[in-house]
Amino acid sequence: MPITIYVDADACPVKDEVYRVADRYGLKVFVVANSFINVPKNPLIERVIVPSGMNVADDWIADRAAPGTIVITNDVPLADRAVKAGAEVLGANGRAFTAASVGMALATRNLMEDLRSAGQTTRGPAPFSPKDRSQFLQALDQAVVVLKRKGYV
């Protein structure tokens, strides 16, 4: 079974890094968004434009997440669904979402959402840094190597 990468593309700052790693290994990439996004002219990279609506892109990705796939997202509920489906899941900063970590990430997200809805001021995520980009590249490369060792191509 071939390794496939699904990118939750709307606010993904590491699309170019995904394209470079995928090109190096000859992997198929689906770039999923609900609006037009430029992608390189490469037969291995496919733009998927889904209809507007809550979680439509997430649903499209989650329906295809499975062992042997890599999902790139900062969306914690999508990460949870993809991990449960057996996919390797990475945030844009290179953090891997795993069965052991995604529950805490989901609980933290829900707590922060509750605080904001109660009127509390919360900080957003830290600005994306060159270190995050480097960690992402390393984590994506490692995820591909691990899947190849498991017999995915």
Residue ranges and CATH numbers for the domains of the chain are: 4-149 (3.40.50)
Report residue 100's pLDDT band, with 50, 70 and 90 as the boundaries.
confident
Q: How far is CA 38 from the centre of its chain?
A: 18
Report residue 15's pLDDT band, with 50, 70 and 90 as the boundaries.
very high
pLDDT higher than 60, residue 109:
no
Summarised one tens digit per residue, pLDDT across range 17-46 is: 999 999 999 999 999 999 999 999 999 999
- Comparing 101 with 73, the larger pLDDT belongs to 73
Q: pTM to 2 decimals? A: 0.87
Summarised one tens digit per residue, pLDDT across range 49-65 is: 999 998 999 999 999 99
In the chain, what percentage of residues exceed pLDDT 90? 74
Neighbours of 138 (CB within 10 A): 11
Question: Left, alpha or beta for 90 (phi > 0: left; psi -120 to 50: alpha)?
Answer: beta
- The structure tokens listed for 131 are 């270190």
Report residue 118's pLDDT band, with 50, 70 and 90 as the boundaries.
confident
Report residue 106's pLDDT band, with 50, 70 and 90 as the boundaries.
low
pLDDT higher than 90, residue 132:
yes
